[in-house]
Structure 1
Amino acid sequence: MRSAGGPAGSGAEGLAAAMTNVYSLDGLVVFALLLVCTCAHLRHVPRIKSWLLGEKRGLWGVFYKAAVIGTRLHVAVAVACVLMAFYVLVVK
């Protein structure tokens, strides 16, 4: 039953419909690719490299490991970025 004051998608139904895509696989892949590409690019900036990518373990080690993946697998990461861009822009 719709309320008289709000749009059709308001309330719990609208919130549930908006929250279904929060944890989608393609969103996680885009986030991972952006993290890897950003950390690989920031690895070439000396001040940021010592500050952000100095630790190899713990929470800050995730950025270091993403930078290593981005530099060693740059061809595969570039191909994955192009394929993901095609998927997001054309397919989805």
Structure 2
Amino acid sequence: MSALFNFQSLLTVIILLICTCTYIRALAPRMLDKNKEGLLGIFWKCARIGERKSEYVAVCCIAMAVSILFWQ
């Protein structure tokens, strides 16, 4: 089953994308900063969400981990 058809899998993919983009921007900021517009701008926007809303992203990661461990 694809992650697009399962809501929990889709949320997991989105959270992992946000966390990955934030980590990449911390290591190499120029890689994401040069693509602020267009299709690759999605990765820059995910990195900004991860930086600005890090508490909420961390809570979502913990909640997703608990739900995957105990309800699947």
Same fold per superposition (TM over 0.5): yes
| Paired residues for 1:9-88 under 5 Å | 21-22=1-2, 23-46=5-28, 49-88=29-68
Give ranges in structure 2 of 5+ residues lacking alignment: none
Give ranges in structure 1 of 5+ residues lacking alignment: 1-20
Q: Where do 4+ consecutive residues of structure 1 move more than 3 Å? A: none
Which structure exhibits the higher relative contact order, with contacts defined as CA atoms closer than 8 Å and separated by 6 or more residues?
2
Q: What is the DSSP-based 3-state SS (H/G/I as helix, E as strand, rest coil) of the residue aligned with 1:44?
A: helix
Give distance in 2, aligned partners of 1:87 and 1:57: 34
From the superposition, tell whether residues 88 and 53 of structure 1 become closer, same or farther in structure 2 (CA, over 3 Å).
farther
Identity across matched positions, percent: 36
Q: What is the DSSP-based 3-state SS (H/G/I as helix, E as strand, rest coil) of the residue aligned with 1:68?
A: helix
TM-score (norm 2): 0.89
TM-score (norm 1): 0.71
Q: How many residues align?
A: 70
Q: Which amino acid aligns with 1:64?
A: W
CA RMSD, 1 decimal: 1.1
Higher Cα radius of gyration: 1
